[in-house]
């Protein structure tokens, strides 16, 4: 009977060690992911300096001579996205099937960064 108790104690200790090891690994992984999330929002400019951008959305009025390409050159931030990526996002946000602006719709939602 004593041998059986010793075996069960050893099994419980092994199981406890496994649980503690798993807990420690998950804690370390969570901390690493949190750090990456916090510092991953930084953007490095071409001169090597770090800039922090916040993304916002706004509605702008479009006129007859506006195009998505013109809006992209005005509002996109080269450090964060290309003009093509900006246009794709604007099309997605506004549920547009083409990159042509319909002038019956006088407002469009665009992302901007500050």
Q: Token pair of 40, please? A: 């991953």
Domain boundaries, the chain: 2-40, 46-113
Task: Write the class of the CATH domain 46-113.
Answer: alpha beta
* pTM of the predicted protein model: 0.53
pLDDT computed for residue 95 by the predictor: 86
pLDDT computed for residue 107 by the predictor: 85
Read off φ and ψ for residue 113, nearest 5 degrees: -125, 145
Query: How does pLDDT run across 36-71, given as a tens digit for each residue?
Result: 777 665 555 555 555 677 888 999 888 877 888 988
pLDDT computed for residue 40 by the predictor: 64
- Please give the average per-residue pLDDT across 68-76, as a whole number: 88
> Rounded to whole angstroms, what are the CA distances from 23 to 26, 33, 36, 99?
5, 15, 20, 50
Place of tokens 């750090």: 35
Residue 22 confidence (pLDDT) above 80 = yes
């Amino acid at each position: 009977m004593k041998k059986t108790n010793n075996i069960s104690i050893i099994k419980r200790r092994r199981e406890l060690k496994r649980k503690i090891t798993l807990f420690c690994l998950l804690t370390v992984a969570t901390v690493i992911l949190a750090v990456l999330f916090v510092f991953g929002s930084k953007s490095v400019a071409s001169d090597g300096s770090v800039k922090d951008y916040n993304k916002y959305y706004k509605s702008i009025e479009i006129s007859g001579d506006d195009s998505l390409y013109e809006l992209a050159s005005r509002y996109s931030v080269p450090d964060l996205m290309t003009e093509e990526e900006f246009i794709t996002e604007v099309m997605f946000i506004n549920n547009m099937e083409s990159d042509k602006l319909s002038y019956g719709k006088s407002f469009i939602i665009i992302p901007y960064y500050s």
